[in-house]
Amino acid sequence: MKTLKTILVTAGGTAGHTLPALELSNELVKRNYKVIFITDTRMFAFVNKNNKYKDIKVLCFHGRGLYKNKYFKNIKSIVLLILAILQSFRVIYFYRPLLAYGFGGGITIPPLWICNLFKIPIILHEGNMIVGKANKFLSTYAKVLTTFFPRMEGNIHKNVQKKCVGMPVRSSIEDIYKNKYIIKNNELIKILITGGSLGAEVMATKVAKALSCFPKDLLNKIFIIQQVRKENIIYVKNLYDNASIQYKLESYIENFSECLNWCHLIICRSGAGTIAENLISGKPSIMIPLPTSSDNHQMKNALMIKDMGAGWIVSDNELSDQKQLIIKLKHIIFNKPILYEAAKLAKKNAIIGSSVYLADIGQKLIKGNN
């Protein structure tokens, strides 16, 4: 029986890092590579139990970043870092991968640093407008830094080659690209509201409240599917029931691709994965950047989409002023010409087939190394 050649893929334990890395991993499996996937404790259980990734060897490393002025926590972080380095050496020595990919996050540093010691070529992928700390450090050792956006902020090593390849997304979302954006006459405006993997408090306490305060003649013109934290479901349900809005609430949206295909507009955060899915599906977006995102990268991401004309940003001032928020939401939701234009510009700026591009770049590196 022929032994499969091995490629290592590693990503930090957030959906924004991990899900694109897994899409690439599946593409590599299709090309008859054995994929060793390393993540941390936050996403390990999700990946390991998901049948979609059954052909990928998933490993969990216990690591985390350093904390400002948290000395005792940092002692534990350093111990975990040393452990992750030892784990990395063992895994890489045993599997001897031909190539390694890193998708950002602190946990990617130990295995990719060890890969460099073994002279294994490294490809990094940066999903955000601002290069992350891990990728910034690892760019010293990488052959190629691939990006989602055509331009990027942040210092990286001068010798690393940069290529814009877009963002790997699920095939079920890439399938939406071919569908035509249309709002039929007398059709309800279908709004999908998300907020990251666990929902977002602001979508319930600010956005849902603003929507429920629309004038009565507009309330019967919208249908909402909303991801809501379990602790907020009753509150949002009461808001929409009292306003007689048609809605469906989910604590976790299982059939996300179907919901994205269904909607005319998405109200969301502005992580790189979310933005990529919006562009490829051709859906206009109202973005509420996560204010605590590192280096404020979600705001930078959102500004890029706004500049493209594919979406709008809700500012902190607008969130704090309900009257102002209602006016802005009304202006966007019931203005079909600007929704059509934003949908067109979203698709115009989308990159399809990113997993294939990334895999192709890797195969060229492997051939060049042989």
Q: Which residues contact 55 (CB under 8 A, 6 or more apart)?
A: 26, 29, 35
The whole-number pLDDT of residue 187 equals 95
- For the stretch 174-190, what's the b/e string if a residue is b when 16 or more beta carbons lie within 10 angstroms of its beta carbon? bebeeeebeeeeeeebb
**Cβ atoms of 35 and 182 closer than 8 Å:** no
Residue ranges of the chain with per-residue pLDDT less than 50: 1
Per DSSP, helices labelled H in the chain are: 15-30, 41-49, 71-95, 109-117, 133-138, 171-174, 201-202, 208-212, 216-219, 233-243, 256-262, 272-281, 297-308, 316-320, 322-333, 336-348, 354-369
Gyration radius from the chain CA atoms: 22
Per the listing, tokens 């050496």 go with 89
The whole-number pLDDT of residue 296 equals 87
The whole-number pLDDT of residue 75 equals 85
Q: Which residues contact 209 (CB under 8 A, 6 or more apart)?
A: 239, 322
Q: What is the pTM of this model?
A: 0.90
Q: Which residues contact 176 (CB under 8 A, 6 or more apart)?
A: 257, 260, 261, 280, 281, 282
The whole-number pLDDT of residue 302 equals 96
Neighbour tally for 201: CB within 10 Å: 13
40: β partners: 61
Taking each helix axis as running N to C, give the angle between helix 15-30 and helix 272-281, from 0 to 180 degrees, rounded to the nearest 10.
60
State the burial class of residue 2 (Cβ atoms within 10 Å of its Cβ: 0-12, 13-18, 19+).
Answer: exposed
The whole-number pLDDT of residue 195 equals 82
CA 3/CA 74 separation, integer angstroms: 42
CA nearest to 347, candidates 297, 309, 312, 313:
309
CA 361/CA 358 separation, integer angstroms: 5
Sheet architecture: strand order including 57-61: 57-61, 33-40, 5-10, 99-102, 122-126, 144-147, 161-164
CA 109/CA 98 separation, integer angstroms: 18
Per the listing, tokens 């079909």 go with 336
The whole-number pLDDT of residue 1 equals 42
CA 347/CA 338 separation, integer angstroms: 14
Mean pLDDT of the chain: 92
CA 219/CA 245 separation, integer angstroms: 6
SS3 316: helix
**Cβ atoms of 168 and 354 closer than 8 Å:** yes
CA 223/CA 83 separation, integer angstroms: 50
Residue 74, φ and ψ in degrees, nearest 5: -70, -30
